[in-house]
Amino acid sequence: MLTFGFVFGLLGSLSAVSACADGADGHTHDHSRRTVPIPVAPPTRPLVWGDLNIIHTTDSHGWLLGHQKTSFPEPNYSGTFGDFASFVTHMKEIALERDVDLLLVDSGDLHDGTGLTDGFPAGGVDAHDANQFVKQLPYDIMAIGNHELYIYANTLDMHTNFAPAFKGRYLSSNVNITVLNDKGQVVSVPVGSRSAKFTTRKGRKVTSLGVLFDFTGNDVNTTVQPVADMVKETWFAEAIKEEPDFFLLVGHMPVARDNWPAVFNAVRAVHPLTPILILGGHSHVRDCLQLDGRSMSLESGRYMETVGFLSANLNTKSKGNLTFNRRYIDPNVVSYEFHTNTNSRNFNTAQGLSITQGLNKLASKFDLSFLFGTAPHDFTLSRSPYPSNDSLLTLFAQNAMPVALAINNTRASIPNVMITNSGSQRFDVYAGPFTKNDQLTASPFADSFLFIPNVPFGIANQVLPSLNNAGANERRAMFEARESAEYGLGYVETTYRRWLQEMDVRNDGAARRAAANLTLGYVTTDACPGVGDDVLHAPLPFFDAPDFIGSIPPTVASEDTPIDLVFVDFISDQLLQILNSIQNTTVFTNSDVQTYSPILANAALGLYAQAAWN
């Protein structure tokens, strides 16, 4: 039977406040933590240290105050970035005592995800303030992610204000930004550095690269070179020419089913036996594989739900296989204290406490605890069937969209069908206070709502099922092409959902959930030997959902009744294509499309909460 540790969770992400800008009218807002002990399962066994060890983060997306809700699996991931800083400090001390190397590595995507990054006031830059706390940690290598490239101002901020803090260790091997140089000339230069060479505390020589997958959604004045072309560059050949003690390949690219083999094989062609460690990211999953017996590739999840640990024994003159270990750590204080042999009296460091305090002040500055309403229960993306009362997709499509878009809308009285993509919702909504931070976390995309007027109800009502019907060969081909294109643009939800589904099926989810001594969490199966998960969990329930979701069709007089067909701009091209395929009376084009409401998709949940949850 497992014993349980305690982690101090947060009831409601931050305390509820009145609807006013922080301090603007003399009010002060209390963002202090409500400390309620939530039992979490402790790690099952100590870490396996080697003579080289790496702590790995990736795809943190602004989750620097940890997961603050009390419904599982959220308490598993409740550690703040300040707690993580304390953990790193203690791990560094252990490495000194063991007289081994310990590196700290990140694989990108610091932007876009919570109010700490996205909640900045007008005139600010996404993640600029939050990244000041990231810069306080002793990262040895960091790599750029695709979310650093969607908006030029964000990329410029990383180039100008973030990368210099790491003195050549923030890497963007195949990513450039166009800027003016000191002479006023337009030049294209790496956002960070193309490569880095350094020596570890124990004297090991390291050559490192920071690679981004073949991303196509970057903003103007930024460039992403395809990985296959990057490895043919003269600078690349020069960077890998000299043999180090090991190669540290860090990048925002999944360790499986992507282009890491292109980089790996290019290095292997020059150095057949040199150890290679790959730290990947982007697909939001826990994963590990070995491309050969002298390498290991590790990917450490998303949203600060995983801290990866990789160890290797390099102190050998053997030319055979090397010994590696990996672990996926649940980032909470119980895990951190277990692995650092500390307790509640001596775990927190001054730096860690300062970082957490600073993040809470930033949350207050951004008014992230602004209260829209109180959610009556949990609404989840994939743990409840769609449609159902517990489904966030149902809540958004059938409740939030119709209520929000009717506000100050002269067309509200005209019957309509509303359609959006299920990927428009990014994270679960949990029972309790629904705040500005929760809105930014759950529904971040600022899509516009468009409409086509006077579409016969019988036709409009066929659009949603037709969008979701990939049975016909031509439609299947269309959607496969769309999935491939969306991957290039950076959308990984399909990959992450497939991983959750496989996890539930492979690990007999229903039976494991019935075991009272297992909490919900990730149950990882990867291609590396042994068990990677640090804590035993029951897998999350998984229910598939369609790619597109919609409102409840109105009751109208006949199939010919003209109605408004409402949809988000993100799916406009696909919707027009489907609309023209299911009828031949009218050829609909972009000229038929109008703006339906000034309200954007990322505001709908908050407006609904104000109307229905107070």
Q: From 338, 365, 392, give the residue that closes a domain.
A: 365
Q: How far apart are CA 24 and CA 5, in angstroms?
A: 41
175-217: pLDDT as tens digits: 999 999 999 999 999 999 999 999 999 999 999 999 999 999 9
140-169: pLDDT as tens digits: 999 999 999 999 999 999 999 999 999 999
Kindly state whether residues 59 and 16 are assigned to the same domain.
yes
Kindly state whether residues 455 and 326 are assigned to the same domain.
no
Q: How far apart are CA 227 and CA 233, in angstroms?
A: 10
pLDDT, residue 10, reads 38
Kindly state whether residues 337 and 477 are assigned to the same domain.
no
Domain housing 157: 5-365
Q: Residue 500 falls within a domain, yes or no?
A: no
Kindly state whether residues 357 and 375 are assigned to the same domain.
no
Instruction: Write down the residue that tokens 């019935």 correspond to.
Output: 514
275-328: pLDDT as tens digits: 999 999 999 999 999 999 999 999 999 999 999 999 999 999 999 999 999 999
Determine the angle formed by the axes of helices 81-98 and 333-340, rounding to 10 degrees: 10
Kindly state whether residues 30 and 115 are assigned to the same domain.
yes
Q: From 311, 332, 365, give the residue that closes a domain.
A: 365
Query: What does the block give as tokens for 190?
Result: 């790496």
pLDDT, residue 515, reads 84
pLDDT, residue 479, reads 60
Q: Residue 528 falls within a domain, yes or no?
A: no
Tell me what the mean pLDDT of segment 7-17 comes to: 39
Q: Residue 532 falls within a domain, yes or no?
A: no
567-612: pLDDT as tens digits: 999 999 999 999 999 999 999 999 999 999 999 999 999 999 999 9
Task: List the CATH number of the domain containing 593.
Answer: 3.90.780.10
Number of domains comprising the chain: 2
Task: List the CATH number of the domain containing 229.
Answer: 3.60.21.10
Cα→Cα distances 430→151, 250, 418, 438, Å: 30, 34, 25, 9
364-398: pLDDT as tens digits: 999 999 999 999 999 999 999 999 999 999 999 99
pLDDT, residue 475, reads 56
Three-state SS annotation for 41-59:
CCCCCCCCCCCEEEEEECC
Q: Residue 512 falls within a domain, yes or no?
A: no
pLDDT, residue 18, reads 30
Which of 309, 191, 194, 176 lies closest to 263, judged by CA? 194
pLDDT, residue 470, reads 54
One DSSP character per residue, 94-158 reads: HHHHHT-EEEEEE-S--SSSSHHHH-PPTT--TTHHHHHHHTTS--SEEE--GGGSSSHHHHHHI
Q: Residue 517 falls within a domain, yes or no?
A: no
Which of 491, 447, 490 lies closest to 601, judged by CA? 447
Kindly state whether residues 52 and 95 are assigned to the same domain.
yes
**CA distance from start to end of the chain:** 42
pLDDT band at 4 (very low <50, low <70, confident <90, very high): low
Q: Which helix (H) or strand (E) holds 372?
A: strand 371-375
Kindly state whether residues 258 and 407 are assigned to the same domain.
no
Kindly state whether residues 340 and 414 are assigned to the same domain.
no
26-40: pLDDT as tens digits: 333 333 333 445 889
67-101: pLDDT as tens digits: 999 999 999 999 999 999 999 999 999 999 999 99
Q: Residue 525 falls within a domain, yes or no?
A: no
Which residues, including other chains, have CB under 8 Å from residue 85's CB and lie 6 or more apart? Answer: 136, 137, 349, 351, 352, 355
Asked if residues 533 and 524 have their Cβ atoms less than 8 Å apart, the reply is yes
pLDDT, residue 16, reads 33
Kindly state whether residues 454 and 357 are assigned to the same domain.
no
Kindly state whether residues 306 and 410 are assigned to the same domain.
no
Strands 170-171 vs 141-143: parallel, antiparallel or unpaired: parallel
Q: Residue 514 falls within a domain, yes or no?
A: no
Q: Residue 539 falls within a domain, yes or no?
A: no
pLDDT, residue 27, reads 34
Q: From 305, 336, 365, give the residue that closes a domain.
A: 365
The mean predicted confidence, pLDDT, of the chain is 93
Asked if residues 304 and 63 have their Cβ atoms less than 8 Å apart, the reply is yes
pLDDT, residue 473, reads 57
- Using the predicted structure, report yes or no on whether residue 499 has a pLDDT greater than 60: yes
Kindly state whether residues 356 and 486 are assigned to the same domain.
no
Tell me what the mean pLDDT of segment 423-427 comes to: 95
Q: What percent of the chain has pLDDT over 70?
A: 92
Kindly state whether residues 396 and 453 are assigned to the same domain.
yes
